[in-house]
Chains A and B, each alone.
Chain A
Amino acid sequence: MLGAEHLLLLFSTVAIPPVACTVLLCIILATFGKSLGLRQIYVDTLICIFEWGARQIKTTEKIKRKESTIYAQPSSFFIGDHISTDSVESDCENVESDADSGEDLPSVEFDLNDESFMKRKFGSTTSLASIGSVCSIRSRKMSESSTLGIIKRETQIHLDDDLDDEIPDEVFVKSRGWAAIRDSVDFVKAGLEAIIEDEVTSRFEAEQLMSWNMLTRTSIQFYQFVNWKLSALWIIGFIFRYCIMLPLRFTIFIIGLVFLVSSTALIGLVPSGSLKKKLNYSCMLICYRILSRSLTAVVYFHDEQYKATSKGICVANHTSPIDALILSVDNVYALIGQKHQGLLGVIQRALSRASSHIWFERSEAKDRLVVAQKLKEHCTDPDKLPILIFPEGTCINNTSVMMFKKGSFEIGATIYPIAMKYDSRFGDAFWNSSEQSWFGYIMRMMTSWAIICNVWYLPPMTREPNEDAVDFANRVKKTIANKGGLVDLEWDGGLKRAKVPPKMIAKQQERYANRLNRYTSLSDNLRQDEDGDEVIDDKPVSGYNSLEDLPEDVCIDEEDEDDTFQDDTPIDETIRKLSVNEDVRNPITAASSSA
């Protein structure tokens, strides 16, 4: 009992001073917005280690495969996809693996934190280093394509309204029924491709990485045992993250929170005016800087000349609850969101004391008008801070931007788009809210290596006079996607939880119906005309079996077609027009329809 107490005392005297120093240093630096560049060094070191790990995995895989192809029966030689590819590639791989296995022995005393050792290891033999770099470039290319997916998608269902490029010109078919059956095959293909790989569900899962980053979540391919060196590295990394980083970060986090709550309480006492605004501005920056350090957030801001200064709406793509924190490191925003309970609620109430934010009750969220009204009031008041909105309304895994809800674009305020892209190699910032609690999420962030984020401020945008809110939202979304290197998707992020609304299916049906109507099936028309007659002819009346067999002069010339497109005549009429054209040109049909 006494021994234990003694040990504890000893431990605390040894452990507390360095911890306290680090924490103090962090907070002082955060207060003045300075950085010693330590985080940068830390990140660079990590990149080196990850690259080494990736090479280890590749080498081991190659050796395993080689063994299996040697021992397997000859037929498998043709199955192995990698064997038949260019020989240069495998040569390069062989050299690397040989050289690496030659290096196995001295690396016994390898140490994770010894960066110079890494350099020595890869810098010592120049040939090895150069080969390694060549291979890593190639492997990066290869794994990029592999992260792209399982299949190459060829058929897809489109959501947008651009019908013109979709629908083929009038096509003459034997009968619409069989044309529909043939088209149904396209639907089948689209459906099956969606089963194998789709645009939406994958956006709500952690992004798959090409190389293992010693964290568990981001790649399911790397769970299996590779070799003991990597395992050792992982264990050291684990100890480092949980026993050193986590306590430090947690301490800083708590201090940040306390600072936030107490400073806002004090500012709340100051009468409103420019002094309060100024105080709030600097206090918030300090708070957020401290909090961001608790996650080892390294944020790179680009194009700061476009930073929002006064009233206006800042819209950004949404990945996680810490988005707001990351952005607030550089600028102070008013926030909008649902009222929360617990820790988040405490923070929300604290923030509201110092400046005005919009928090609404869950019940009010349905009442869009109330929220829009509040938003409008906020935006027209020049004294208020720019408001930060995530119009996607849900967290997406930072590979794409999904549909922007139109609410914030209806108001007519100036929009300041912000693109955010996290570097998921060091820790995935995406919050899968359906699987993880908020606290669990923060814990995971604190045990990750680091949070790296690039933030681009984009030139302010305003709604064009003839543009509706949806189009404007799409335009803003597109700019953000382009800047952040994200995929621009039409899909609603709300599908994360909800089922596809029947309206969307109805729209697809309408689109197909339009297409079906364009199939100007001569025989169908004629049958309608001749309902009373007893002419039953299995062959199409035109006498031609398929489109290819039609003589050239049957096809409509382009001028007519353009006309019909321009004056937007209803489809039935178009068909009639076309069949009139037919009558003139094709003697058989002309004769039969006049009969």
Chain B
Amino acid sequence: MGNSSTLMLRDEEIEEIMSETEFNRNQIVRLYSRFLSLDKKGQGYLARDDFLNVPELAVNPLGDRIVDAFFTLANDNEEQQLNFRQFVKILAHFQPISRSKRNVLNSRKDKLLFAFKMYDLNKNDYITREEFKVILNSMVGANITSDQLDKIADRTIEEADADRDGKISFDEFCRAMEKTDIEEKMSIRFLN
């Protein structure tokens, strides 16, 4: 009824997404309706601005970086748009880790990778001292001196840099985060 029926997901698409991710049908349908409401211009894909129009994300000091990591993980080819399939796939990284382990997307490593990508500004698979400073700076703004910032950055890199090359690789990053409960901290509780 009504012309909006074209907005519905086709059954095959839902099936496919279900097999790719651990989401069930209901969750996919609901995520799709969210996708549609984020896509204000009705283009069928999301651009960076569509995300940053969410005020709660825009006040997040790392909001911009999060969106960036979202896009980096979704498509490496620099295309600044995201379709529903990619959207859901990224969100699948944040599903809680379950015992059945059918999902390949939400392991501890996948979750950490998202955080790593967020720090890796130039996408060369390393976090440098400068990159860390940029992120820390966007978290605290003008509230600490550049001297303090430098010191913190030096120490941070030094501490995790096992091979002494002055930058942190993904492996080093994972090792440094060993004690952190990433499974809990980077899992979103999706309702059934």
Contact = CB atoms under 8 A, between A and B. Distances in A.
> Are A and B physically bound partners?
yes
B1 A216 contact: yes
Contacts of B1: 216, 223-225, 231, 234
List of 6 A-B pairs having minimum Cβ-Cβ separation, nearest first: A177-B156, A509-B141, A513-B143, A194-B56, A500-B58, A513-B140
Interface in A400-437: none
A262 interface: no
Interface of A: 79-81, 145-146, 148-152, 154, 156-157, 159, 174-178, 180-202, 205, 216, 220-221, 223-225, 231, 234, 491, 495, 499-500, 504-506, 508-510, 512-514, 516-517, 523-524, 527-528, 538, 546
Contact of A189 (B139, B155, B188): B188
Interface string B30-72: 1101101110000000000001111111111111001001100
A199 B143 contact: no
Given A216-B1, A513-B141, A500 B55 contact: yes
A195 B54 contact: yes
Given A191-B62, A512-B61, A524 B188 contact: no
Contact of B141 (A192, A510, A538): A510
Contacts of A194: 54, 56-57, 60
Contacts of B57: 191, 194-195, 198
Secondary structure at the A interface, as helix, strand, loop or mixed, is helix
A512 B1 CA distance: 50
B2 A505 contact: no
A138 B171 CA distance: 50
A81 B144 contact: no
Given A182-B180, A185-B115, A513-B140, A175 B156 contact: yes
A150 B139 contact: no
A183 B185 CA distance: 10
Nearest to B116: A181
Contacts of A159: 59
Contact of A187 (B60, B159, B160, B191): B60
B36 A150 contact: no
Which of B25, B36, B114: most chain A Cβ within 10 A?
B25
A273 B87 CA distance: 66
Nearest to B46: A195
A152 B186 CA distance: 13
A513 B144 contact: yes
Interface string B1-39: 110110110000000001000001111011101101110
Given A177-B156, A527-B155, A188 B139 contact: no
B54 A201 contact: yes
A524 B154 CA distance: 11
A79 B38 CA distance: 28
Contacts of B33: 220-221
A158 B149 CA distance: 25
Contact of A516 (B118, B119, B140, B182): B140
Nearest to A156: B56
A514 B152 CA distance: 15
Given A192-B94, A221-B29, A234-B1, A177 B24 contact: no
Contacts of B25: 81
A499 B5 CA distance: 32
